[in-house]
Structure 1
């Protein structure tokens, strides 16, 4: 409770714009259960489902999926920091929204996904258009402050992307071997702002991100790929995505594939690997 009191005191001096951050940080500081290490998360309008224990629909679709044909393989890191990702049930002004609306594109509900980027990209899937504002927030849980916040007033169906701007503070990289309790772990969440006057009535979808220092072998592989001047932008990004996935750098692999698709939307192999990456962590329902 001492930590909670400190957060209250620190956040009490911030502006109203950080109200959402206050509520979520307090909620997770006090209520987050001790996690285990099973893989797979689907956050659907405030409800979290373990994708690896989903119905046979997911398992059957995976059998005929592009994951088997893809050369991309996501290998989860062995040193991930335990963190529980959750969403809150729709309440108050959010009751009119569909029950399956938001899916955060993350590989696990039990640990913080990793990146080597100081300014990573965050992605989630919206199953239907909404006429309420969507707010993305990134919180430094060590300094107890909001790093970045962005409001999307009108969102269309599909993947929604928010990249941490270069002019915002970059994430601090944790060196190898650091104890989990000493690491800088950041919380990010997507809020459906149905009731601006009463933020507790909004719907939240929350997860965690950790920046790690890239190991020498990862840097060597990336440098070797970058040295091939004959590759197009999309080919380079595609190859980088494969390397990131093998290294367990989830956000970087997802970002590279996202950019590769934007650079060459007609390349079916990029699309296949994007689908494969999502299917490998139980997100096949949004991959198609």
Structure 2
């Protein structure tokens, strides 16, 4: 299959979070010909939601997602502060016209070993957020994270697990498919088919380095690792996904240390040759 052209790409602002603020990310996306952007909420709030929404529209960019909602389990129970923060996230996603609100659901509460309880809190939290999001016209996308993050970041770790939740909660909720988190899953092809067009709400690109020096902040640029990205992209597209391909690279040891325009230029080149 042919590679990706810049207009098919979206920049997740985490990729250049150490170099650029959101205004610079918006301008950089436009200058490098990207089709869209996916802000993180800290960058969005720093700029201001309404000014950011206007700047994104004025630049002609789509918004592939807003990162992130979730984090339901921190105190061991669903509390009002978490509910309120997720409602704010929904409002922000609506204001900027995001294709979805990406949910990193949370892991175990401090001191807990009760994984079934964490799953129950997560599902309760997602149901509460989804009820609010439906009224706002915002889609909610669970991002299954690699199992190494089950304890501290997300106790939803496979597409099957995420889709089981979606089945129970009904319309308006689906998945953000991140290559870094799902590439290893032997059920991935079947679960993407199960998800289909309505529930594949986002697709995130990066690569898995061997060796990986840090499990959070040593993601690879596309083509530098072991993930068969063209195959994975082919699978999501075969099952109905036609949105922007979002590049999300946490890289404290490499890409966060480089000039941001260099990073953007390499993304364009690797989109064409490695995806």
* TM-based fold match above 0.5: no
Pick the structure with more strand per residue. Answer: 1
Tell me the TM-score normalised to structure 1 length. Answer: 0.25
Tell me the TM-score normalised to structure 2 length. Answer: 0.26
Q: Which has the higher contact order (CA 8 A, sep 6+)?
A: 1
Pick the structure with more helix per residue. Answer: 2
Return the index of the structure with the highest Cα Rg. Answer: 1
